């Protein structure tokens, strides 16, 4: 007589959460907040909301750093946590900086193409890391270096936008003005996003601290 195995327990998302995962959620929440702040700036024109958006992306970076440190400290991590981390990073350091650029005036057709490219590079960079992390760790369980610049480096672009906003150099006053090609607009400043995205998907090695 064979004994039947008990049915597997249903997956409980809350029960599977570790402390580090809650910090990762904080990262995502800050990124979403930055999106709302940018939309409020578009509606009201109050530059204070650009500062709020930049501050929230900075807060997301703090959460992103802390979740990794907490996971190592408690020696607890999970596949769900890794996926959650990537999704949060896409929001906070990919989508939010791109929408901030749109909000401060990079709204031409060519601008949008570059911003979409930037986000796509960020998504691809995170996907590549997820599938190559085990190989990059060389069996030690710890990745020694990144391939391509990490997506949180977009905080530098966010800081640049905050400075431009503080100086009043947004919308019609964006640095380097704008160009017209075929009846469509390109703001040269948006090329910073093209460079950042290209560095993310490059093969350059960045030591992991």
pLDDT band per the 50, 70, 90 thresholds, residue 16: low
Checking if the pLDDT of 13 tops 70, the result is no
Please compute, for residue 110, the number of CA atoms within 13 A of its CA located in the half-sphere on the CB side. Answer: 15
Checking if the pLDDT of 27 tops 60, the result is yes
What predicted TM-score, i.e. pTM, was given to this entire model?
Answer: 0.87
Over residues 11-30, mean pLDDT? 77
Contact 98, 118 (CB under 8 A): yes
- Output the pLDDT for position 24: 92
Residue 180 vs residue 147, higher pLDDT? 180
What's the CATH fold of domain 17-207? 1.20.120
Over residues 121-126, mean pLDDT? 96
**Per-domain boundaries in the chain:** 17-207
Helices (H), the chain: 13-16, 19-44, 48-74, 79-89, 96-104, 109-136, 155-166, 191-200
- Output the pLDDT for position 82: 77
Contact 97, 158 (CB under 8 A): yes
């Amino acid at each position: 007589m064979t004994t039947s195995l008990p049915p597997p327990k249903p997956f409980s998302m809350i029960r599977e959460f570790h402390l580090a995962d809650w910090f990762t959620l904080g990262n995502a929440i800050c990124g979403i907040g930055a999106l709302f702040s940018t939309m409020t700036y578009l509606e009201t024109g109050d530059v204070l909301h650009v500062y709020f958006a930049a501050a929230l992306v900075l807060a997301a970076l703090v959460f992103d750093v802390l979740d990794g440190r907490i996971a190592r400290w408690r020696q607890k991590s999970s596949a769900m946590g890794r996926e959650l981390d990537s999704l949060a990073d896409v929001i906070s350091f990919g989508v939010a900086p791109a929408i901030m650029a749109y909000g401060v005036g990079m709204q031409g057709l060519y601008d949008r193409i570059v911003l979409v490219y930037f986000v796509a590079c960020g998504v691809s960079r995170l996907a590549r890391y997820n599938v190559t992390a085990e190989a990059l760790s060389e069996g030690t369980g710890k990745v020694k270096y990144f391939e391509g610049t990490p997506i949180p480096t977009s905080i530098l672009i966010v800081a640049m936008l905050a400075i431009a906003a503080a100086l009043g150099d947004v919308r019609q006053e964006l640095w380097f003005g704008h160009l017209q090609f075929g009846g469509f607009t390109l703001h040269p400043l948006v090329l910073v996003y093209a460079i950042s995205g290209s560095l993310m998907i490059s093969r350059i090695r960045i030591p992991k601290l």
